Chain A
Amino acid sequence: NAGVTQTPKFQVLKTGQSMTLQCAQDMNHNSMYWYRQDPGMGLRLIYYSASEGTTDKGEVPNGYNVSRLNKREFSLRLESAAPSQTSVYFCASREDRKLNTQYFGPGTRLTVL
């Protein structure tokens, strides 16, 4: 069981470039989440997917899009990267809304120059 995996681990982009962050889980969880973590701000929810085929905005969705490709995979896309999107991005999954344990991936460190 790999749990939650994320690729890439590190990425440097120039302003205006696009990229997709990949996330996959092998725990057969229904819900998946994308967070960003910035110093002093904690974890902030970007988008989430309560189940396969559904996605919803979180607290800070502007500048991002997501795709729930299937039950295992949930990707985050930056269409035109900005320096304000420099952050550490975490993907997480959870079996059910009533079970409160979220399992997090190792994170992607993104720098936008």
Chain B
Amino acid sequence: QKEVEQDPGPLSVPEGAIVSLNCTYSNSAFQYFMWYRQYSRKGPELLMYTYSSGNKEDGRFTAQVDKSSKYISLFIRDSQPSDSATYLCAMEDTGGFKTIFGAGTRLFVKA
């Protein structure tokens, strides 16, 4: 079983829709939770990060962490065609240098 599970999609939505992207994990030691966005043929770039449980909002993006369920989510409001990309969840414990990434979900936002 993978430490981090993420549905690869693809997920196709119309412009303006609310998008929900999710990951589950098995390692209860994870404390830092990140979302990276990766455009086609580019390197990933950090979009959001949260520490421990709770919500964090940045513009149209909201990250949620539910440690009791080992479940994290990224919500995108008023989705735009420019949001079309692959979204990777990632997580770390407090002890080391290693980040564990999900497989990524491909999102298409249709104009």
A: which residues have CB within 8 A of B?
Answer: 4, 31, 35, 40-45, 48, 50, 56, 58-59, 90, 92, 94, 97, 100-102, 104-107
Contacts and interface: CB of A to CB of B under 8 A. Distances in A.
B43 A107 contact: yes
Interface of B: 4, 6, 8, 32, 34, 41-46, 49, 88, 90, 92, 96-99, 101-104
Interface centre among A48, A59, A102 (most CB of B within 10 A): A102
B102 A90 contact: no
Contacts of B34: 100
A101 B46 contact: yes
A41 B3 CA distance: 12
A44 B101 CA distance: 7
B46 A43 contact: no
Nearest to B32: A100
Contact of A106 (B4, B43, B46, B97): B43
26 contacts: A40-B8, A40-B103, A41-B103, A42-B88, A43-B88, A43-B90, A45-B98, A45-B99, A48-B97, A50-B97, A56-B97, A90-B43, A94-B97, A97-B97, A100-B34, A100-B49, A100-B92, A100-B99, A101-B46, A101-B49, A102-B46, A104-B44, A105-B43, A106-B43, A107-B42, A107-B43
